[in-house]
């Protein structure tokens, strides 16, 4: 855990340690008290998944909360789940042991995502920790990993305040300079404008915003 001292009073933890140490309370917080709109988001995400057997990649799947509705709708689907937190993945594996799910305990920036592999790439509340150049790299790889007309469904923390956005970018850059190669749990939500710019630059042809509240938006990006 690091303390940013003059930058801010937050204690910042490594990404995997942050989630490993919260695994026992994670589902309860995200299903009930902490994020009241979480269930609504997951229901919306599942609406865009076909009920036919399909192949899905889940980036930052955590304990797999978003898979519950998807698997009710499409129980035969093959799902590849990537997450840095071993403990979150262990919980997911127990919950969904009867389904066709492969878990990968790695940084999704380091995993080969393939070409024309997936009908859907989904990500729920997992991509608001990366700088623009990092996201661009990842989104391009997501684009190639999708089949023609495949969808990248991203439900994430997105803000309106561009000053806050830039302030957080600068803070993360300082952290990265001080601790190169380490991945910390530090939120840098994008504005919708910047998020759309990166998606377009990655090659996606259409972007539909299908949900928004003050903190979260769901963008459906079509290859």
Ligand X SMILES: C[S@@+](CC[C@H](N)C(=O)[O-])C[C@H]1O[C@@H](n2cnc3c(N)ncnc32)[C@H](O)[C@@H]1O
Q: Give 52 or 173: the residue with its C-beta nearer to ligand X.
A: 173
Alpha-carbon distance values, 171 to 45, 123, 182 (Å)? 31, 24, 14
Say if CB 9 and CB 186 are below 8 A apart. Answer: no
Distance, CA of 95 to CA of 23 (rounded, Å): 13
Alpha-carbon distance values, 220 to 59, 75, 206 (Å)? 15, 22, 8
Q: How far is the CB of 143 from ligand X (least distance, A)?
A: 18
Candidates 119-127, 141-149, 196-204, 214-222: pick the segment binding ligand X (CB under 6 A).
Answer: 119-127
Q: Give 1 or 206: the residue with its C-beta nearer to ligand X.
A: 1
Pick from 54, 66, 87, 151 the residue near ligand X by CB under 6 A.
66
Count other Cβ atoms within 10 Å, centred on residue 44. Answer: 17
Contact between 65 and ligand X by CB under 6 A: the answer reads yes
Candidates 82-90, 158-166, 170-178, 190-198: pick the segment binding ligand X (CB under 6 A).
Answer: 82-90
Pick from 32, 50, 51, 107 the residue near ligand X by CB under 6 A.
107
Contact between 121 and ligand X by CB under 6 A: the answer reads no
The contact set with ligand X (CB under 6 A) reads 15, 19, 30, 60-62, 65-66, 82-85, 88, 107-109, 124-126, 129, 183
């Amino acid at each position: 855990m690091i303390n940013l001292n003059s930058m801010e009073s937050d204690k910042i933890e490594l990404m995997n340690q942050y989630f490993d140490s919260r695994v026992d309370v994670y589902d309860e917080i995200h299903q009930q008290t902490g994020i009241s709109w979480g269930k609504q988001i997951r229901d919306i995400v599942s609406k865009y998944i076909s009920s036919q057997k399909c192949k899905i990649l889940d980036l930052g799947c955590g304990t797999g909360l978003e898979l519950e509705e998807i698997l009710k709708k499409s129980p035969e689907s093959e799902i590849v789940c990537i997450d840095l937190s071993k403990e979150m993945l262990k919980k997911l594996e127990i919950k969904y042991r009867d389904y066709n799910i492969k878990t990968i305990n790695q940084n999704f920036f380091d995993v080969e995502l393939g070409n024309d592999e997936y009908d859907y790439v989904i990500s729920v509340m997992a991509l608001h920790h990366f700088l623009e150049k990092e996201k661009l790299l990842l989104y391009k790889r997501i684009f190639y990993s999708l089949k023609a007309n495949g969808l990248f469904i991203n439900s994430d923390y997105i803000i309106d305040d561009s000053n806050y956005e830039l302030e957080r970018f600068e803070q993360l850059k300082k952290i990265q300079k001080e601790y190169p190669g380490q991945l910390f749990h530090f939120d840098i939500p994008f504005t919708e404008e910047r998020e759309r710019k990166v998606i377009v630059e990655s090659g996606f042809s259409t972007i539909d915003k299908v949900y928004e509240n003050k903190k979260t938006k769901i963008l459906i990006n079509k290859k």
